[in-house]
Structure 1
């Protein structure tokens, strides 16, 4: 029997290299049953009872499809500790809810994210992508690809959708960096107590920003998403101001950060796999969709979501008790050897590719998956047509157990 001598709850584990972490998850996937880990002490939340790590593709899919048993609303899905009440006000979005409340909110906002609506954004995404590549070329070699391109595109699209002016974009980016900072001292500070306060302040400031905008759109509506949500009515239901603020924070997490890190990772993967770059450039139109899916699979921008059992239940031969916590590790499920042959190979022709980079099928599947795919596709097409030899070196990774991110990526043309 393999003796597990590492701790998924520790900050030190998530400071290790990608290869070291991958080897640890390989060991977990070989176990007869999901491993159990204790929760660590953090200043801003009560210490919980621990959790089972779901690391196999079949387990993550099974839990995702059975949302009535594997609850997102009992303490939240985006943190392993239960969210304290003062955090729920700012981070209690629909991703941290169960039906029927989750279904109500998703029904209201989903009309803005249909495939048809997202396709209508293609011209805007193309224009912003052109601006980003223009700025990259003007800056020349040696700049930070994340700052100039990867972070700029999804941020501007989300902020423009909501109707926030360009003058507010940096303000939004700075606070979203704090919210998704994990353990990273560059954004959240060294002291865990300080981190909790920064998280609360960032959430409060973003909520206030969008609520002020919503109050203005209530008086003077325009054609932006904020106006549509303030004045929208689906079966007699509307978003409250608090729900609108939490939804905006969710948009930043799901619609901004994940796309940003997929774009950065795409450049890194194409740099360290020159043969794949050549294969892609030989048929950019035909192979780009498969390349985008493979980037998202290997990147797994969101590392995990957490669930809590509403009753005793058996999943794939392992029994759980009511109140147990399970953590769905997408980063491990996406390289499960039983599903993905040669799982660490960057294979842009992989077919089928049932990755869980946007979550698994179920009520919490990513609402913005269409938008994310479109943004990544349009940006990479613009970049590789105009700068086919660009390379990104020495990625500086985010120290986080929640977001698999690249903070900085120097490029050469």
Structure 2
């Protein structure tokens, strides 16, 4: 799992080729190392997704250096998220925007308005209560597999913790958790045939998954307006900040953002975390020796190397120059966080897993700016609680060889990860 690869020639690298994202992680890493050594961002042609309704553009700048990504992220007035969408290379068709047009694909002042309303509702629950809830979910998740001695870690542990927490926070009944999980897989799968089995109906499957989740939250929101509960949906439908409230469409889009992004990204960080701790037993022993001392650093290092979100897109608002590079109005720039988190100019020996790494200025939650991840603290807490539970109760848990990565340029995800451990009794 921790192999190195020969550096390819620049002409052999095509980030728009779906085959590139099927390569082993070591080969991807070697390719990005080559790109970081170039004089500036390389221009790539757009991928061709015209068969599912996306109009092909002229191409994009691939920003792979930490400094370039920070500089662009700090200039939202020059590099926007709302033109064409931030989560896809090609401009988002109108029919997709209806379901996937969350605040991650918006700019100020609308983005600031939504974030202000959502942030107020998001922090209503005390951190102490949320911490207890996360600990309880982590314990229940380990209980479910503890006696067996093996499981599919990606599906049965890593996916279950953030899924349960997000759904419980939102007020989604337990009988709908698997429904949300399956639809979120479809949306973020990058056209992987395991999740979208009918290639000729990709657009239909994506739109159906989005509409089904939005319909679910619409039903929940209607009920909460009449009978509020102590959950996030109730707070969102009643939120009023400076005279502003969310429309039904905005509530649905935010739910989709949390259900998809909040679940999938943390799931994959936890999965990569077990792989890293298995590959680096000395770091595992150090973490287990003092979870309170080394836990926070371990979470940051896991997130840095996992980089669950591989890129975000920005669109150039006006002609400008940033870090010596000229950008033209209307051009696209892809911010490859996965590469920035391995930038040799920022992280000495960047492929080394070091839970004591200080400083650790990764951009796995996004770079500083208006779109820094709203749920970063929640994700950190979920990762920390999961590994505390695992290393305390299943101390010899080890990852086997992972199934291939999800075939996606956007999500650095592992579909299945077998693991083994000495069976233990569930807590009483």
Q: Distance in 2 between matches of 1:214 and 1:126?
A: 27
The question of whether the paired residues in 2 share the 8 Å contact of 1:115 and 1:370 is answered with no
Match for residue 219 of structure 2?
Answer: 212
Match for residue 167 of structure 1?
Answer: 175
Shift of 1:407: 1.1
Q: Does 1:313 align with 2:320?
A: yes
Match for residue 403 of structure 1?
Answer: 411
The question of whether the paired residues in 1 share the 8 Å contact of 2:65 and 2:343 is answered with yes
Shift of 1:138: 2.5
Local SS of the residue matching 2:221: helix
The question of whether the paired residues in 2 share the 8 Å contact of 1:118 and 1:371 is answered with no
Note the residue ranges of structure 2 that are not aligned, 5 or more in a row.
Answer: 1-8, 422-428
The question of whether the paired residues in 2 share the 8 Å contact of 1:161 and 1:224 is answered with yes
Local SS of the residue matching 1:408: coil
TM-score, normalisation: structure 1: 0.97
1:253 alignment partner, one of 237, 240, 260 = 260
Q: Distance in 2 between matches of 1:115 and 1:139?
A: 38
The question of whether the paired residues in 2 share the 8 Å contact of 1:297 and 1:357 is answered with yes
Deviations 1:385-410 (A, max 9, x none): 11111001111221110000111110
The question of whether the paired residues in 1 share the 8 Å contact of 2:122 and 2:232 is answered with no
Structural mapping, 1:87-102, within 5 Å: 87-102=96-111
Q: Does 1:105 align with 2:120?
A: no
The question of whether the paired residues in 1 share the 8 Å contact of 2:397 and 2:420 is answered with yes
Q: Does 1:177 align with 2:192?
A: no
Q: Distance in 2 between matches of 1:190 and 1:15?
A: 19
Q: Does 1:54 align with 2:53?
A: no
Q: 1:90 to 1:329 in 2, by over 3 A?
A: same
2:25 alignment partner, one of 18, 21, 30 = 18
Q: Does 1:33 align with 2:40?
A: yes
Match for residue 69 of structure 1?
Answer: 78
Shift of 1:190: 5.5
Q: Distance in 1 between matches of 2:65 and 2:74?
A: 14
Match for residue 340 of structure 1?
Answer: 347
Match for residue 145 of structure 2?
Answer: 136
Local SS of the residue matching 1:129: helix
Local SS of the residue matching 2:141: helix
Q: 1:190 to 1:12 in 2, by over 3 A?
A: farther
The question of whether the paired residues in 1 share the 8 Å contact of 2:320 and 2:328 is answered with yes
Q: Distance in 2 between matches of 1:17 and 1:118?
A: 39
Q: Distance in 2 between matches of 1:74 and 1:360?
A: 19
Shift of 1:119: 4.2
Match for residue 284 of structure 1?
Answer: 291
Q: Distance in 1 between matches of 2:46 and 2:251?
A: 32
Shift of 1:25: 0.4
TM-score, normalisation: structure 2: 0.94
Q: 1:395 to 1:119 in 2, by over 3 A?
A: farther
**RMSD, matched Cα:** 1.2
Q: Distance in 1 between matches of 2:302 and 2:293?
A: 16
Match for residue 148 of structure 1?
Answer: 156
Q: Does 1:299 align with 2:306?
A: yes
Number of residue equivalences: 410
Match for residue 251 of structure 2?
Answer: 244
Q: Does 1:157 align with 2:157?
A: no
The question of whether the paired residues in 1 share the 8 Å contact of 2:42 and 2:61 is answered with yes
Shift of 1:275: 1.2
Q: Distance in 2 between matches of 1:33 and 1:285?
A: 41
Q: Does 1:78 align with 2:87?
A: yes
Q: Distance in 2 between matches of 1:325 and 1:118?
A: 38
Local SS of the residue matching 1:167: helix
The question of whether the paired residues in 2 share the 8 Å contact of 1:118 and 1:370 is answered with no
Q: Distance in 2 between matches of 1:118 and 1:178?
A: 31
Shift of 1:3: 3.8
Q: Distance in 1 between matches of 2:121 and 2:168?
A: 13
Q: Does 1:377 align with 2:350?
A: no
Q: 1:24 to 1:119 in 2, by over 3 A?
A: farther
